[in-house]
Amino acid sequence: MVRRVGLSTGGGDAPGLNAVIRAFVKVAVGVHGLEVIGIEDGLAGLVGTPRIQPLSFREVRGLLPRGGTILGTTNRGNPFRFPVRDATGSVSEVDVSSQVVESAKSLGLEGVVMLGGDGTLDIGRRLMDLGLPIIGVPKTIDNDLSATDATFGFDTAVGIAAEALDRLHTTAESHDRVMLLELMGRNAGFIALNAGLAGGADFIVLPEIPYDLEAILACIERRRTSGSHFAIGVVAEGAVSKHGELSLLGDAAPGGNARLHGAAAKLEAELSRAGCPLEIRTTVLGHIQRGGTPSPADRILATRFGVEAANLAARGDWGKVVRLRTPDIEAVPLADALHTHRVDPEGQLIRQAEALGISFGR
């Protein structure tokens, strides 16, 4: 009898998900003779009538360069707290985890390979405890999982952000302006830090290093006295102020970037008061960072994750997560892969950036 495994993608999309799916199917089916069942919209596809699609060579043809996920994903993919709308329209959360486990079993799935971040992988760990074998593939565009040297999607996001910074440079220089670019990163500032380094930012504001507006003003002023009448600043979504002021931007909810504008207006006023009347313009890159074709490095990393996840599934080596330990892909226990990390304010990369004259507002 053909062994059958499930495959699902959870959480926000990241460039490379389709490349994982393609590699997983090619190896699981082509090398190991498994049958692969794609589950739609995270694990939500196992709640109620199963929404699934068999995945063979045919379905994954042409997927390598395509962004997004053909399986769909959702932010309401936690079966332990599954949102349900009652007749009156109000929403409450219920635990449908046993339904998910039952559904997987009745579909004949030996286990489920879950692509997701720390939240999704933790759900996987709990489902494993309920009897559903799980293999995890780490996915976080923020690159903030400590178990792996890198996650796919991150290189693409940094590339899109760096290209935006290149574009802002020419306008900033032509107009004598301070340009602020807000990038993803609520808890971890790896995207902002790397994009800022690659795009030649003058200051970078990270969730990990509370900023002091005075320090940023001083940075801009230093540039001006050295003859550069413009500046480029990168601001992570989760930036926080040292003095408890409103953060430059507190959340990504509708209305959120009004706060970035507010901070910009304040910065502009301070600069003007200090005799440095530069215009400030803000841009919020938003969802553009996570869409589109993955970079070559992300395609390769995603592909390798997919191959090794298929090898694990074929061996029946459940309860594992694949990860990059340069230069190899390895497997580690699921429980080891749930930890996020953040930019180290005293780490080498920050010190190198500061040596280059980049201000972190401290």
Positions 203 through 242 that interact with a second copy (CB under 8 A): 226
The binder of a second copy chosen from 300, 332, 340, 362 (CB under 8 A): 300
Binders in 180-199 for a second copy, by CB under 8 A? 194-195, 197-199
**Min separation Cβ 144 and a second copy, Å:** 13
Structure tokens at 313: 């599934």
Indicate whether 359 belongs to the interface with a second copy (CB under 8 A).
Answer: no
Task: Give the Cα separation of 356 and 362 in Å (integer).
Answer: 15
Task: Give the Cα separation of 114 and 135 in Å (integer).
Answer: 6
SS3 296: helix
Give 249's contacts (C-beta < 8 A, 6+ positions apart). Answer: 182, 235, 237, 238, 239, 256, 257, 259, 260, 263
Indicate whether 262 belongs to the interface with a second copy (CB under 8 A).
Answer: yes
Indicate whether 149 belongs to the interface with a second copy (CB under 8 A).
Answer: yes
The binder of a second copy chosen from 282, 309, 318, 322 (CB under 8 A): 282
Query: 86 catalytic, yes or no?
Result: no
Reference 284, options 164, 133, 121; nearest CA is 164
Alpha helical stretches, state H, the chain: 17-30, 57-60, 97-106, 118-129, 154-175, 190-198, 213-225, 256-273, 296-315, 348-355
Indicate whether 21 belongs to the interface with a second copy (CB under 8 A).
Answer: no
Structure tokens at 180: 């602020």
**Min separation Cβ 71 and a second copy, Å:** 8
**Stretch touching a second copy by CB under 8 A, among 119-127, 175-183, 241-249, 315-323:** 175-183
**Min separation Cβ 174 and a second copy, Å:** 4
Indicate whether 108 belongs to the interface with a second copy (CB under 8 A).
Answer: no
Task: Give the Cα separation of 199 and 232 in Å (integer).
Answer: 9
How many other CB atoms are there within 10 angstroms of residue 207's CB atom? Answer: 19
> For a second copy, how many residues bind (rule: CB under 8 A)?
89
The binder of a second copy chosen from 53, 99, 187, 283 (CB under 8 A): 283
Catalytic annotation, pick one of 142, 144, 155, 202: 142
- How are beta strands 231-236 and 134-138 bridged, if at all? unpaired
**Min separation Cβ 235 and a second copy, Å:** 14
**Min separation Cβ 27 and a second copy, Å:** 5
Binders in 23-82 for a second copy, by CB under 8 A? 23, 26-27, 30-31, 41, 57, 64-69, 72-75
The binder of a second copy chosen from 291, 332, 340, 362 (CB under 8 A): 291
* Residues 152-171: x where in contact with a second copy by CB under 8 A, - otherwise, as a string: ---x--xxx-xxx-xxxxxx
**Min separation Cβ 130 and a second copy, Å:** 27
CA distances from 36 to 6, 55, 56, 59, 357 (A): 6, 5, 7, 11, 52
| Contact present, 282 and 257 (Cβ < 8 Å) | yes
Residues involved in catalysis = 142
